[in-house]
Copies of this chain bind each other. A is one copy, B any other.
Amino acid sequence: MGRTLDVDKHREKSQQILDAAWRCFVRDGFRGASTTDICREAKISPGHLYHYFPSKEAIVEALIEKSLQSIASHFDGIAQEEDVIQSLLSKVHEGFGKPYRPNMLLNIEMLAEASRNPSIAKILQRYTQRMRSLLADRLRDGQERGQVDRQLDPDLAATILIGLVDGVRGMAIKDPSLDTAKTVELLKSLMTRLVAPEASKNAPSDQPKKRVLNVR
């Protein structure tokens, strides 16, 4: 009982530290944020940090793990809706908009870090695989229902879809004047076209496509 409480408290404190680290990493990046910064943000002493995490890298790993878990759980929701394409598009909005910018920045940090740090690469790859599987399964569902092009390789398409959303999200840095709303609309249209079956590609779903594209 007491043991359980201790474990809970320990977990809670770890969480507080991770929250502080999240803020620091978003602000300064994995390399740019120092353990001192994190401790100050978490309001603990520098020595105490090592009571909860054996190293700075462990913090980064835990943070990435947690962050990806949260994103992946968003994907889980996909499986429950009826219309495959609609359920897919409904998730797109979430990655855009101001409050998601921190996550986007962390995503880029993760990519940068994973390209150099094998243990972080593994985490990233594990979650990517999981999310891609979920997406691919959904696409397969759609193919069975005739909502998705049967000639598409679901795994490959899922990969491309993830890359597409990631890449367009990153454009916010390359072009700060980007109009998010219009971007999301065109992005959705593009995703629809990617997965829609041949026959319906002229009129993908009931989406009022013409208005969407007519943005000039």
Contacts and interface: CB of A to CB of B under 8 A. Distances in A.
A interface residue count range (under 10 / 10 to 19 / 20 to 34 / 35 or more):
35 or more
Interface of A: 27-29, 31-32, 105, 108-109, 111-112, 114-116, 121, 124-125, 128-129, 132, 149, 151-153, 156-157, 159-160, 162-171, 173-176, 178-179, 182-183, 186-187, 190, 193-194, 198, 201-202, 210, 213-216
A190 B160 contact: yes
A31 B108 CA distance: 15
Nearest to A189: B194
Copies in the complex: 4
A163 B186 CA distance: 12
Contact of A167 (B153, B168, B202): B168
A174 B160 CA distance: 12
A153 B111 contact: no
B183 A111 contact: no
Given A182-B153, A186-B157, A175 B31 contact: no
Given A28-B116, A149-B213, A168-B160, A125 B174 contact: yes
Nearest to A194: B190
